[in-house]
Structures are given as structure tokens and as C-alpha cells.
Structure 1
Amino acid sequence: MPKKYISSLKTGEVVEDVFLVLKKEVKETREKKPYLNLQLADKTGSLEARKWDAAPHLCNSFHKDAFIKIKGVVETFNNTLQIRVNEISPVAEECVQMSDFVPSTEKDVSAMMSELRQIIKTIRDPYLSKLLDAFFTEESFCKVFSTAPAATQYHHAYLGGLLEHILSVARLAVSFSNLYPMIKRDLLLTGVILHDIGKTRELSYERSFHYTDEGQLTGHLISGVLMIYEKAQKIDGFPSDLLNVLFHLILSHHGEYEWGSPVKPGTPEAIALHHLDNLDAKVYAATKAITEHKDTSSSWTDYVKMFERRLYKK
């Protein structure tokens, strides 16, 4: 029987399929009876699920990030779909097709890497060109870079999402630099291409997406600067002032202290990078929130934390 994906489920439908457990909570009803509060996922999205009257042996039979086969019914609660689970059985990882559960970019990864490399070839500054080549001629880096997600949930949170995001911002930067010739094009493009490389160390993405120990301890801004420093030290004569300005682009690209930047953008290129990066992330997140909102009777999404408001869908 072909897998039934979450994105296709409808109210009243009987579900008997395997899902990845993103969240598992054991709670109690008002009558002190235990039940399971779950968030189940596949590559098309996630859905809340409840298993009432959950015996202790069932609660202990699987854990978060495990695969389970459920049998249940899709219901609507507060205008949102959820599953009332009747049966649960754990499933071994070797019995599942991982590509059914981990979301991936729908775009051609090889074509995106090729386009990004073509943009890199337009960099004329010899030091910035050598720096980018040091990263993008390294097979192990390119494999991780082209596989990693750009985030755990808000934007481009799927395999290949980091590459897709970087390429989108690079395209914006090419157009932007043509409109503003006073911008140092090579510096802006280098900052764009390298601004999120620390996410290759920050995020873990074997099943669901999590932060690594390095990601939680230092974050991708610091990791990115360290990665750039390691490469730059191997390039003879790399100017220290150019390296510091590039560090500034990486460290300031979130734009505000409360958004995680230790410094605010202080050069035209840093200001441009922050806004181009933010534009791509925010437009993607808004589009995602609208397309994934399941209440077709409403013209508005639910409250979206990133925007601190509901979004108009029509």
C-alpha cells in the first residue's frame, strides 16, 4: 500500500501508516488518566495526534525521533486537523524509507551548485576569489553544504535548504549590486555566500532537525567566522582589514542584538546583506505559513510567531 502523506489527509479519513515522532508528551486528563500528546511528521509536514487511555507500557515503547505505525482517524479540532490514535506499534528504522520522512528541496541540487559556482567565478578580488575556492573545491564541505537545511523550522527547513537560501540571496545581491554601483560587489557576494556556512556545523539533520552541541554553545555566526579564518590563514597575504570587514558581514547579518548579532551592520555591504537575507527568509516563511494553513474556511492564517501577526491568505 502506498504511503499516505500528511499533506493529503482529510477529516474523517482512517489512517494506518508509519510516521516520525517529532514530539512525545505523556499527559493526564482531568480524571488523571494518562494520554499521549504527539506530533507526527513525514516529508510533507506534521500533525498533532492524541492517544487516549495510554497504558504505561505503550508510553514507554517508543521515544522522540522514533518511527511508529499508527491506526487512527483524522479529526478537526479548533479548525485544525489532528489524529485520534487507536493503535500504536514501534517500527525499526531499517524498515522505513528515510526519504519519506525527511523533507528535501524540490529543486535540482546539482543545478543550484553549478549556478552558485558560476556566480563565484564573477568575483574579481583575488583574495575573496581564493577564499571561496578554498571552500567550494573541497568535496567534503560541498557535500554537507548542499545537504544541510537553512533552519530547524522557520525558513528553508529541509535538506538542501541552505543551498537554496544562499543561492536565492546571491541572485538578489547580483541584481542589487547592479542598482547600487557604490556597493563593493565582490565583498557583498562573498558575504552572502558565506554568511550561513556555520549552519553546516550548527545543525544536525539525520532524522528531524536539531542543534548540535557546537550550534548551541557558539551558534552559526561564530562557527562561520572560525571556518573563514581557518581558510584565510592558508592564503598568503590575505589582507587583515579585508578579513575583518568580511567577519563584520557575517557577525552582523542578523541585524539586531536581540536577533543574535553581536554587532549591528556598520557598512553598506553589511546593511545590504542583512536586508537581502531577511527578505528571502521572511518571504519564504510567509508563503509557507499561508500554503500550510489547513483551515480553508478562514481568510487568515493562525498567529505566526515570526511576524507577530496573522497573515491574509487570499
Structure 2
Amino acid sequence: MIGMARKWNAQDVPDQHGRVAVVTGANTGLGFDTARVLAERGATVVLAVRNADKGGRAAARIAETAPQADVSVLRLDLTSLESVRAAAREVRSRHPRIDLLINNAGVMYTPKGTTRDGFELQFGTNHLGHFAFTGLLLEALLPVPGSRVVTVSSAMHRVRARIDFGDLRWERRRYDRMAAYAQSKLANLLFTYELQRRLAEGDAGTIAVAAHPGFAATELIRNSPAAVRLVVAKAVAPVFAQSAEMGALPTLRAATDPDVRGGQFYGPDGPFEARGHPKPVTSSRLSHDTAAQRRLWAVSEELTGVEYPL
């Protein structure tokens, strides 16, 4: 147990030798720092990334601080269910047993667009891609004691967020990139809580946990309008932003702290959960709507064609 007087940090990550961790979006930002710490602690780490060249450079950077690290690159494009299926087959052929799946990759505030399968880009990437990838890998996690699925959400799940089941593709409404992002991050939590319920009912040793990084200084905001980027850079970031290394801590704690319980949500302990060290935090009332959780699950299975082995 961590003493009350001391904050949880990367040094508290337990030894990870013998464990296999798959981290999506691990070539940069939060995903990179999550993968780096796990590798430094001895985990076998799979960097699941869209661009294999960038993934290779990320693996080389990790090797600079952890020369003995076992790090490999897996090409995963969450905007393509074909790519998701291929990536899942490849990682399972390499690693029949997986200890950690960290669903970190995502897009934010993108202009209106669609995935290769025709889904709204943010919902399709941030939720549906990870829903499919998790379902296709779950059989490799279920037999492993202490295995975890950690999905990275956002404090934005509270802001103008609801799941419009009648218009998931944003065909009837005027597109709002912020609301679409918030919807995808709410979906991450609904998915986590429903997955945990199903795992618990099946008496599985695997647990599902969520985390959010607060306001981390990463390149994720690159798709925001220029005016928003300027305000963030000049007025918001200097006061509230924290480094990617700090932003990765809630994910790392959710993935490795032995005291974590299924269905918990971790975020920073500072004002507005914008920055600080990781602790259990609460999520919105909408995220705990069990009817929405179950409906989203059914819709996600239908849209992706992936059924879970639970």
C-alpha cells in the first residue's frame, strides 16, 4: 500500500518481468510513455500503431533507456476493421497469453470524416476499433491471472456528451467535433463498465478498468481549430497542462497497481482533475446508465461483427 503522505508515481509500477502488454497508439504521447515505463519494468511490450515506421522509431527510443527491453511493433489501424482483425491475428500468433491490453490510441476534434467502414471517425476509431480489438484478443487474456483491459477515456466525457443511438454516424445533425469526441469518450466508459460486469458475471480473472490523463501536453489537440489551439497554448496550457509522462500515470496505475479493482476509473488528483498524480475518480451519471451500456454493447457487436467469448 502507498502511504497517504506520498503520491503514486512511475517508481511504484511493480516488476513486470514475464508479463505481455499490448499498448495501442504507443508511438507518441501518452501511449509511448505508458509503453516505455512498462518496458523499463521488464514487460514484453507490443507497440500497436498505425504507422510502422514511427513505431520502429518509438521502439528505438525505448531501447535507449531500456536496452534489455523486449519491444516489438504491430501495425494496427483502428479506422479499419480489416486491419483490426489482421492485427489481432498477428499478436495472438506471437503472444498466445496477454496480461495487459491498454486501449490508448485515439483521435480528437477531427473534422467530419468516416472510417474505412463508414463510421463517424472519432466514434469509429476511439470506441468501435477498440471494442473490436479487445473482443478479438480477449481469449488470450481470460486464462491469465491478474490480466487487465485498460481503456483511456477523457474528462471530456462529461461535456455535451450523450450517445445518440439514432444518429451515430452524424448524418442527421450538424457535425460538432467536440460533441463527437465527447460521445466517443463516454462510449469508452460505458464499454469499460459493461465489460467489467460481463467479466464478473463469468467469474473471470480478467478485470476492466478506465483512466483519463487530465490535460496532458500531447499532439492530440492538433486537429482543433486554429483559434482553439492558440488559446490553449497561450492561456490554458501554462496553468493546467502537465507532461505526457504525468498524463500516463493514471493509465499505468490502472494497469499495474495490485490494489486496483475492476470497474474503477483513474485520473489526476489536482483541481478539476486536470493535472496531478493518479487516484480513483468518479465519472458522469450518464456513464453509469446500465441500459445505455447494454445498448451500446449490442450496437457495437452488430456494427463490428465481433462477439465476445463471455
Name whichever structure is richer in strand by fraction.
Answer: 1
Structures share fold, TM-score greater than 0.5? no
* TM-score where L is the length of structure 1: 0.22
Q: Which has the larger radius of gyration?
A: 1
